[in-house]
Structure formats: structure tokens, C-alpha cells
Amino acid sequence: MKKKIAVLGSTGSIGGTLLKLINNNEFDVQLLSANKNFKKILKQAKKFKVKNIIITDHKSYLQAVKFNKNKNLKIHNKFNLLDKILKKKLDYVMASISGIEGLKPTFKIIKYTKKIAIANKESLICAWPLIKNELKKFNTKFIPIDSEHFTIWSEINNVDTSQIKKIYLTASGGPLLNYDLKKFNKINVSNILKHPTWVMGKKISVDSATMMNKCFEVIEAKNIFNLSYKQIDILIHPKSYIHSIIIYKNGLSKIILHDTTMKIPIFNSLYNNNKSYKNNKNLDLKKLNNLNLTKIDIKKFPIVKLLKKLPVNFSLFETIIVTINDFMVSNFLNNKIHFNDISNLVLYYLQLKEFNKYKKLRPKNITEIIKTSDIIKNYLFNLKKI
């Protein structure tokens, strides 16, 4: 019997990769979603014989309705019709809508699936306890898709985390690892988008360059695996071959590696180790013999200082971090601020009293998280400094 699946964010990198890994003989794609790329999602719907798609940008939705010639395809503008779209519980959902915008759809679709693979960072950073409760409520299995978290999850899925001494997440160092610090004030957008090992979107490429992406992953790891921040650290690993290192209290240590591609965690989230990955390569001894693991250079990547300012307990402060960073990255991509300004401004605003108060506020629901993010966006937008 075909597995019924849905892909939220099907036109993005993660969603698109997933669709390349499947075929119509094994999977019945029940639902696809996109924001603006209506032409691509219409092609995907045709290829996989999908009957329902959601396009959230209203202008793009209207264009899709006008452009569509498939009478069997229903095009929706919002996620509030999931009850009518999904008649039976799905076998698998990939939640890969990026940004805060992906938080509510990710949360809403949990009840409609037996298993959900989450690539939306904001769900795991800003709303993990809420997501976790929803997973438990509807008996939905969860798999993290980030390569670092997937490798950790695959190793310690049935391990008592109190037996873990330390977990290291690896970071490539991005395009600026060997860049002269004295030239950082002259960095432009094109410099940042030339990532040495990963093919990524603009936003995440900037986050990789500042090392904010790795800060986010530390928060995710702390949440997902119920660890303390003291149990998590970051190592620079330019080859992106090793994705995590786990140090156990019993003296054993394990290095988890795979080739530099998101196809592997996505493939395994789909097939549960029941199928061989056809592009599986032999162990790369050249990479293993030249790991070049190092600590982070704080002068080059000052944004990691925020890891020492994180609250122990889940709060709205995580939403503040995500929102401020998103705002600064957007301004950089639009050439309104310099690259160095991203880290400096993020650290500056996070230490202000009006933002620190959120460390004591625990969000009650998803709506509160989104509302808080909107308030912070408006605050920053009205500032004269930027």
C-alpha cells in the first residue's frame, strides 16, 4: 500500500529534495504547500498527481488559480481547511516551511499524521514544549531533519541522556572561515552566498556565515534531547563530513558522519532504515585523516557570545532572538547594514531590558509566539538606527 504523505514547503530546498527521492509507485502525495512559487508547485502537483495544494501568498494564489488547467487540482490559500483536505491520517509529513511563518502550519498538521519530519527551526527553537505536547497528544512520531540533530537522534534515540557527558555539533565555518578579519567590514552579499560545502538559501547562508545558525542548533539540541547548555558545544569542521560527536560518561565516544548532502537524513526519515540509500559511498579516509577540528574564533564569530545569555527554561526570549536576527539578516541582504552589523546589533538588542524581560515569560500557545514576534518586528522597523 502506498504511503500517504504531505510536504509543507515543497518548493524549497528540503521539500524539493524529498520529492526527488520518491516516486508515484511508493507514495501518494496528498498535499503540497508553497508561499509564492506557484509555477513550481503546479509542476510538482502534476508530476505526483496531487489533488490539493496550499499557496499562502494571496497574489501568488490568485495567479495559480488563473494559471492552473488541472480540473482535479484544488488550490487553497490557507491551512484552516486541513480537516476537509486530509480525510485520513497521513503516514508522513515533511514540515519544511522556513521562518516564523512555518510555525503555525507545522503545529496544525501534527494531528493529521503518524510521523512528522521537522526542518522548520522556529518550531524547535521557539515552541518545542508546545510541539512536544502536541506530538504526545496525537501519538505522532517526530524526526529532526537538520543533519546534526538527525545524526544525534539516530544514535541516542533509546539512550538515557543523563549518561551523555557532552555533545559536539560541527560547523563548516562557512565562507568566512579563512577570510581576513580586517576585511570583514568590506564583506558583501555575494561573498556570503558562496558557501564552500553546502548549497543553501540566502537567509541560512548568512546565518551560517555569522554562526547564528549554529547557535540556533544548540538551542534545538538542548530542547529536542532534553540536555543542558553545558552538555553542548560547537567545533569547526570545514569538510562537513562529521555532523556530531557524542561523549558518554562511560568513557566511550562516538563520531557520526555522512556525506555532505541533506538527502541522507531526508531519505532515512522516509524509509526508517528499511531501504538502502543507492548513492551510499565508501568511508572517505582522506577526509577522516584531515578532520581539522577547531574551536570557534570568538573574534571572527562574536554572535556565539549569546549562548552564554540564554535562559535555562523555555521562554519567549528564544522568539526574540530569532526575530531580531531575521530582521538584521533581511537588512543586510537588502544592503541597508554591513555584515559586521548583524552580530553587533543582535548582541546589542538582546542585552536591553525591554528584551531581557522575555526570559521570564513562557508562551502559552503558538499565537502568543507569533504575536510577540510581530511586536518585535514593528519595534525594530520603527527604529531610526537602522
Q: Which positions ≥6 away from 14 have C-beta within 8 Å? A: 94, 96, 119, 145, 262, 266
- Going through the chain in order, the beta strands assigned E by DSSP cover 3-8, 27-34, 52-55, 74-76, 92-95, 115-118, 141-144, 164-171, 232-236, 242-248, 253-257
199-248: pLDDT as tens digits = 777 898 999 999 999 999 999 999 999 999 999 999 999 999 999 999 99
Question: What confidence score (pLDDT) does residue 24 get?
Answer: 82
- Locate CATH 3.40.50.720 in the chain: 3-145
Q: Which residues of the chain have pLDDT under 70?
A: 384-386
Q: b or e along 153-177 (b: 16 or more beta carbons within 10 Å of the residue's beta carbon)?
A: bbebeeeeeeebeebbbbbbbbbbb
Whole-Å CA distances, 151 to 144, 177, 255, 262, 363: 9, 24, 9, 11, 29
- Locate CATH 1.10.1740 in the chain: 311-386
- Per CATH, the number for 3-145 is 3.40.50.720
pTM score, two decimals?
Answer: 0.94
> Per CATH, which fold does 311-386 belong to?
Rna Polymerase Sigma Factor; Chain: A (1.10.1740)
Q: Round to whole Å and give the CA distance between 366 and 8.
A: 18
Question: What confidence score (pLDDT) does residue 249 get?
Answer: 95
Question: What confidence score (pLDDT) does residue 280 get?
Answer: 81
Question: What confidence score (pLDDT) does residue 386 get?
Answer: 56
Among all chains, which residue has been given the C-alpha cell 555539533? Answer: 169
Question: What confidence score (pLDDT) does residue 114 get?
Answer: 98
120-148: pLDDT as tens digits = 999 999 999 999 999 999 999 999 999 99
